[in-house]
């Protein structure tokens, strides 16, 4: 199910939902009781506006009671549940409700075990196309999105990014257009990896490779489960580096991977062990730094994020012990 990705602002107990040219809706958020109550006040109150209002309310509170009918899919997913006081929506469960951010219901690809390169693993679903994830980032004042790489239109930026000395230091993939076209074509033919552009308000600022760990070279180092995921990332635009952006794209990428398949319980990454900035960002976003180990091309730090921790500790929001991400450029 595809809906416009609306967002909401909260001021003096009133949530205003809208954005992208949509009519504005108003909702009252009454926090005087033990569990705040959310009630429609004026304007549209369809599913897109309701989900935007719940999203904003649950950024402030771990649970809300809803004085409004909820879409059946919200109830069927367990994101909302009836109680004598009204429909209870829990932050931890709502953020696992894929249609808010993916625009679709997260029905897992049926399991069929196959062999590739002497590894037995589940057959993987077709790679995503187009925009696969959207999330409004309040401290950036825009919508962060992930979309599938489109080879020819994205190749010039990819080539420029890979030849940036800051990126090349960690990726070691500097080269010409032909080399980078071949690089992306090879990954396009690899069923265990998806290539994604990271965008803010539709403009690409970085690149991500999301992969299934069971078939990856990382698997022997982490006893990978069938649905564990991993990623590699580069931030190509210098203006989009720093804590404000890292606190947006890093948890959003994890959120996307957890939503893609409800069976994914862990995300593994293996940055260079001397990449102090990345290790710091991983630690602030809930990743456990497990061990250093040697790949043929680098000494790496194995890091892991648990699904339970990500949703249980609301790690899509900047941590309370972090500096305000809007004010940090480190």
Do residue 179 and residue 222 come from a single domain?
A: yes
Do residue 96 and residue 118 come from a single domain?
A: no
Do residue 170 and residue 317 come from a single domain?
A: yes
Counting every residue, how long is the chain? Answer: 330
Residue 76 annotated to the active site: no
Cα 249 to Cα 145: distance, rounded to the nearest angstrom: 9
Is the Cα dihedral 268, 270, 273, 277 positive or negative? Answer: negative
Do residue 90 and residue 231 come from a single domain?
A: no
Using the structure block, give the residue that is written with the tokens 């950024």: 59
Do residue 95 and residue 118 come from a single domain?
A: no
**In-domain check, residue 206:** yes
Which among 129, 209, 223, 270 is annotated as catalytic?
Answer: 270
Helix (H, G, I), strand (E, B) or coil at 290: strand
The CATH number that applies at residue 317 is 3.40.630.30
Do residue 178 and residue 212 come from a single domain?
A: yes
Do residue 157 and residue 259 come from a single domain?
A: yes
Do residue 256 and residue 296 come from a single domain?
A: yes
Q: Which residues contact 158 (CB under 8 A, 6 or more apart)?
A: 149, 180, 184, 207, 236
**In-domain check, residue 66:** yes
pLDDT tens over the chain, length 330 residues: 455 689 999 999 999 999 877 889 999 999 999 999 999 999 998 999 999 999 999 999 999 999 888 889 899 999 999 999 999 999 999 999 999 998 766 678 899 999 988 789 999 999 989 999 999 999 999 999 999 999 999 999 999 999 999 999 999 999 999 999 999 999 999 999 999 999 999 999 999 999 999 999 999 999 899 999 999 999 999 999 999 999 999 999 999 999 999 999 999 999 999 999 999 999 999 999 999 999 888 999 999 999 999 999 999 998 754 444 443 332
**In-domain check, residue 109:** no
- pTM score, two decimals? 0.93
Do residue 176 and residue 314 come from a single domain?
A: yes
What per-residue string of b and e applies to 214-235 under the rule 16 or more CB within 10 Å gives b? bbbebbebbebebbbbbbbbbb
Do residue 265 and residue 145 come from a single domain?
A: yes
Name the domain boundary from 68, 100, 132.
Answer: 100
Number of domain units in the chain: 2
Do residue 172 and residue 65 come from a single domain?
A: no
Cα 318 to Cα 326: distance, rounded to the nearest angstrom: 10
Quote the domain boundaries for residue 191: 114-327
């Amino acid at each position: 199910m595809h809906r416009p990705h609306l967002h909401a602002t909260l001021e003096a107990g009133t949530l205003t939902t809208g954005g992208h040219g949509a009519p504005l809706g108003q909702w009252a958020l009454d926090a005087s009781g033990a569990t705040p109550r959310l009630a429609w006040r004026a304007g549209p109150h369809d599913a897109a506006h309701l989900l935007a209002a719940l999203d904003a309310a649950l950024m402030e509170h771990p649970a809300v009671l809803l004085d409004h009918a909820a879409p059946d899919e919200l109830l069927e997913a367990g994101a909302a549940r009836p109680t004598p006081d009204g429909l209870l929506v829990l932050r931890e469960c709502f953020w696992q409700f894929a249609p808010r951010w993916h625009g679709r219901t997260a029905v897992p690809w049926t399991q069929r075990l196959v062999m590739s390169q002497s590894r037995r693993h589940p057959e993987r679903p077709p790679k995503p196309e187009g925009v696969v994830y959207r999330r409004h980032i309040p401290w950036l004042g825009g919508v962060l999105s992930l979309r599938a790489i489109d080879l020819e239109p994205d190749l010039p930026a990819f080539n420029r990014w890979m030849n940036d000395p800051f990126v090349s230091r960690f990726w070691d993939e500097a080269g010409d257009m032909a080399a980078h076209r071949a690089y992306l074509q090879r990954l396009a033919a690899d069923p265990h990896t998806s290539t994604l552009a990271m965008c803010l308000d539709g403009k690409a600022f970085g690149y991500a490779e999301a992969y299934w760990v069971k078939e990856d070279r990382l698997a022997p180092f982490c006893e990978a489960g069938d649905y564990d995921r991993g990623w590699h990332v580069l931030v190509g635009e210098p203006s989009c580096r720093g804590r404000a952006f890292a606190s947006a794209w890093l948890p959003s990428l994890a959120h996307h991977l957890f939503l893609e398949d409800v069976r994914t319980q862990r995300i593994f990454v293996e940055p260079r062990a001397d990449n102090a900035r990345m290790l710091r960002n991983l630690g602030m976003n809930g990743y456990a730094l497990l061990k250093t180990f040697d790949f043929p091309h680098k000494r790496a730090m194995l890091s892991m994020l648990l699904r339970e921790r990500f949703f249980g500790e609301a790690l899509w929001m900047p941590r309370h012990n972090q500096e305000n991400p809007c004010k940090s450029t480190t």
